[in-house]
Structure 1
Amino acid sequence: MSKVTVVTGGTRGIGAAISKGLKEAGYTVAATFAGNVEKAEAFKAETGIHVYQWDVSDAEACAAGLAKVEAELGPVEILVNNAGITKDGMFHKMSFDQWRAVLSTNLDSMFTMTKPVIDGMRNRGFGRIINISSINGQKGQMGQTNYSAAKAGVIGFTKALAQENAFKGITVNCICPGYIDTDMVAAVPEDVLKGIIKGIPVGRLGKAEEIAALVVFLAGEQAGFFTGAVHTINGGQYIANG
């Protein structure tokens, strides 16, 4: 039986590419989504991937949702924490609601999604946890103190959890994408987008499938010695050592 994989925010953008890549690699994939039922159902019809709706910032909803996935598909052996939102604004104008919403979805979800599956992974002696951070969690970004703080927290969470669980056969890794050609980036004004691309040494936006390819590798048996690592995929825009 193929390993069960949960991808949060798995029906759109980078998450959709990850879900598709894992299914093509032979995994049983459950893709979660927050609110857009119409697009999620269209994604399910197109790909045949199982979709589940819940709010990743809600601990009770995550526990219930993951229990449903395991009852219907089997134990979760691979978790991709991809879901994230932005509520940008300069810090001096930012409301606490803007701050809290981004931290809840982007960072609290590391706990709410991972806690319900970690004991099962430990008991079985195998697990793969792959967390999607961001270039802006590494270098910061003006107008994104909330997002940058959350994504930097994802990196710290990854490194600590990796150390706690390595001896149990569980790897925990982090991917920090740069600017990827998704609907969100496509909505950026053309002149701004040109400036962004000018700052990327390879001269183009990344592809969601490039992120998915790394996720598929890290989910595999051959990646057992990769853990606690921060993998940058940004076309050379920001070169970091972790």
Structure 2
Amino acid sequence: MGTFSGQVALVTGAASGIGLAISRKLLEEGAKVVAYDINKTALDEAFASYGATVKIVAIDLTQQDQVNASVDEVIAEYGRIDMLINCAGITGITNTKSHEVCPENLQKVFELNFMSSFYTARAVLPQMLKANYGRILHMASVAGKEGNAGMLAYSSSKAAVIGMTKVQGKEYAETGITVNAMAPAVIRTPLVDAMPEAQVKYMTDKIPMKRCGTLDEAVNMALYIVSPQNSFTTGFTFDLTGGRATY
């Protein structure tokens, strides 16, 4: 019997990177996982061996109607959603000064990084309120705390995620629901591998530990945040930066 036996977790961005790693660990710990991602092929490949413990949902998280309909379907099937873990995100175009930023690209980044987290939280919160229990984890970034030059869209969208976390943590503090964020520095994932090496070096050089974080380190922190043991921390952004951010 794992820590999350009998619980249902909805994970966005579950086909790769941190979202996939968290999903697999939750499954090991006894949870049922609803895996959201726009890439169905990647979802199918990632969870081919997990059978009925995973519900695969190919979804465009920037479309509120799709999110609402899917969450309603999940609740009808499982009767509960105990955890929401929002990992879906993109960096958008980087190495670009603010006066050269494409507004359309900035909007696209905000739609996935911020709006989709708002949509999913908005959809699951009524059920969590009925249950008097819930754990929500929004994936932020150290870029949302400190700002990364050349990454206006990404940094600003993650700052918005942190702001939403603070608001939601306070709003639901007396309901048995915690809402927290996690702010990683550079974690070696496909998203980071796709970035220009100069951008990755710029970020890594700022880390006192002088290395990237690992997926295992991210997963271990995430699972504590969404566990029943995390019952007196809400509205908080957990640091995962090797010493870069200490506030």
TM-score, normalised to structure 2, is 0.90
Instruction: Name the structure 2 match of 1:11.
Output: 15
- What is aligned with 1:110? 117
1:21 counterpart residue number: 25
- Deviation, 1:185, is 2.2
What per-residue deviation string (whole Å, max 9, x for no partner) do you get for residues 18-44 of structure 1?
11121112211111001x222111012
Number of residue pairs matched by the alignment: 239
Q: Who is 2:45 aligned against?
A: 42
Report the secondary structure of 1:45's partner residue.
coil
Aligned counterpart for 2:237 among listed residues 218, 230, 234: 230
Closer, same or farther: CA 198–145 of 1 in aligned 2, 3 Å: closer
Give, in whole Å, the separation in 1 of the partners of 2:17 and 2:207.
20
Q: Distance in 2 between matches of 1:61 and 1:192?
A: 34
Distance 1:173 1:167 in 2: 15
SS, match of residue 82 in structure 2? strand
Partner of 1:54: 59
Q: 3-state SS of the aligned residue for 2:239? A: strand
* Residue 71 of structure 2 corresponds to residue 72 of structure 1: no
Aligned to 1:165: 172
* 3-state secondary structure, aligned to 1:221: coil
- Unpaired stretches in structure 2, ≥5 consecutive residues: none
Tell me the amino acid that sits aligned with residue 18 of structure 2.
I
How far off is 1:46 after superposition? 3.9
Q: Secondary structure at the match of 1:213?
A: helix
How far the C-alpha of 1:200 sits from its partner, in A, is 2.3
Deviation per CA, 1:171-215, whole angstroms, max 9, x where unpaired?
Answer: 011100100011232344556645644432223211112111111
- How much has 1:2 moved relative to structure 2? 0.9
1:67-106 to structure 2, matched below 5 A, reads 67-88=72-93, 89-106=96-113
1:71 Cα deviation after fit: 2.5
8 Å Cα contact 1:21-1:209 kept in structure 2? no
**1:14–1:209 CA contact under 8 A, matched in 2:** no
Q: Is 2:224 the partner of 1:221? A: no
Over the aligned positions, Cα root-mean-square deviation in angstroms equals 1.7
Equivalent residue number for residue 147 of structure 2: 140
Equivalences for residues 113-128 of structure 1 within 5 A: 113-128=120-135
- The aligned residue for residue 210 of structure 1 is 217
**Alpha-carbon distance in structure 2 between the residues aligned to 1:168 and 1:137:** 27
Question: Cα gap change, 1:82/1:188 in structure 2, threshold over 3 Å: closer, same or farther?
Answer: closer
Which of residues 22, 28, 36 in structure 2 aligns to 1:32?
Answer: 36
Unaligned regions of 5+ residues in structure 1, if any?
none
The CA distance in 1 between the partners of 2:85 and 2:48, in whole Å, is 22
The secondary structure found in structure 2 opposite 1:52 is strand
Residue 154 of structure 1, CA deviation: 0.6
Give the secondary-structure state (helix, strand or coil) at the position aligned to 2:135.
Answer: strand
Seen in structure 2, the aligned counterparts of structure 1 residues 67 and 208 have a Cα distance that, compared at 3 Å, is same
- Counterpart-to-counterpart distance in 2, 1:57 and 1:157: 17
Residue aligning to 1:239 = 245
8 Å CA contact 1:165, 1:171 repeated in 2: yes
Q: Give the Cα separation in 2 of the matches to 1:16 and 1:150.
A: 22
